[in-house]
């Protein structure tokens, strides 16, 4: 099966595909890995549009009979859910990597709207400088985080605003997990300040297809904070999918 199996690492908002650089090589021992980059996409205003862009790219890689294990980080998880909803036969497995299937509540939508206004007024740097420290556990060394802040504070404002708009308007997709005919893994940081641990763990109750892998001493970026642990749980999941 793995001759036609592809692993797609889908990055989240405020970072780019390089965020996977600590674990992508390790995953490639199990199956080919691709990491699409949507950090410069400024023309899409819905998660569905990002998902169709992803489908176009993956279909070109896998052909008509190929299948994909989707690993979606944060916003990338929202994209992966939309992909799996529209293309279930192409989906071999789904990992919500510090992500959720719930829609935003009204308070979160208002927060995102304020962020869009701030991005348009003040640019990307203040947003990245404020957001990235919240993505890691309090114990993560500031000197290790700073290179990521320096790297991502120059991301295009229009792309950041487009992604924020898409997230704000995304629907609830818990039904995708409830009805899934493929394995699902929830990777959760025990100290995640962005995606609440307890609320996300509730998703595991939706289906027997869903398992959960908490990561100790990790916030919202375990591929950076605890790369060995993150790689380990992903490789176990990939092995299970390949073995089915």
Maximum Cα interatomic distance, the chain, rounded to a whole number of Å: 51
Cα–Cα distance for residue pair 186/170, rounded to 1 Å: 19
Q: What is the pLDDT along the chain (244 residues), one digit of tens a residue?
A: 444 799 999 999 999 999 999 999 999 999 999 999 999 999 998 999 999 999 999 999 988 778 999 999 999 999 999 999 999 999 999 999 999 999 999 999 999 999 999 999 999 999 999 999 999 999 999 999 999 999 999 999 999 999 999 999 999 999 999 999 999 999 999 999 999 999 999 999 999 999 999 999 999 999 999 999 999 999 999 999 998 7
For 143, the domain range is: 5-243
The answer to whether 234 touches 27, Cβ cutoff 8 Å, is yes
Residue 93 bridge partners (DSSP): 69
**Exposed (0-12), middle (13-18) or buried (19+): which is 57, by Cβ within 10 Å?**
middle
The pTM (predicted TM-score) of the whole model is: 0.96
Rg, C-alpha atoms of the chain: 17
- How does strand 5-10 pair with strand 67-73? parallel
Q: How many domains does the chain have?
A: 1
Give me the CATH number covering residue 95: 3.40.50.1820
CA distance 217 to 240: 25
């Amino acid at each position: 099966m793995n001759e036609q199996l592809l692993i797609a690492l889908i990055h989240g908002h405020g970072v780019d595909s390089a965020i996977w650089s600590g674990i992508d090589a390790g995953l490639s021992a199990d199956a080919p890995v691709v990491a699409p980059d949507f950090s410069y996409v400024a023309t899409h205003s819905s998660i569905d549009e990002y998902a169709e862009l992803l489908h176009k790219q993956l279909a070109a890689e896998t052909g008509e009979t190929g299948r994909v294990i989707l690993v979606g980080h944060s916003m990338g998880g929202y994209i992966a859910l939309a992909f799996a909803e529209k293309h279930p036969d192409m989906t071999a497995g789904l990992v919500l990597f510090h992500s959720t299937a719930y829609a935003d509540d009204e308070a979160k939508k208002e927060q995102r709207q304020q962020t869009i206004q701030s991005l348009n007024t003040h640019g990307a740097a203040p947003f990245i400088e404020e957001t990235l420290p919240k993505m890691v556990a309090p114990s993560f060394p500031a000197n290790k985080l700073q290179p990521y802040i320096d790297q991502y504070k120059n991301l295009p404002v229009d792309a950041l605003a487009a992604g924020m708009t898409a997230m704000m308007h995304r629907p609830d997709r818990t039904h995708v997990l409830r009805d899934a005919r493929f394995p699902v893994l929830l990777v959760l940081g025990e100290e995640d300040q962005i995606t609440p641990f307890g609320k996300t763990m509730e998703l595991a109750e939706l289906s027997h297809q869903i398992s959960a892998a908490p990561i100790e001493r990790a916030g919202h970026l375990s591929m950076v904070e605890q790369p060995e642990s993150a790689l380990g749980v992903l490789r176990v999941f990939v092995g299970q999918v390949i073995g089915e």
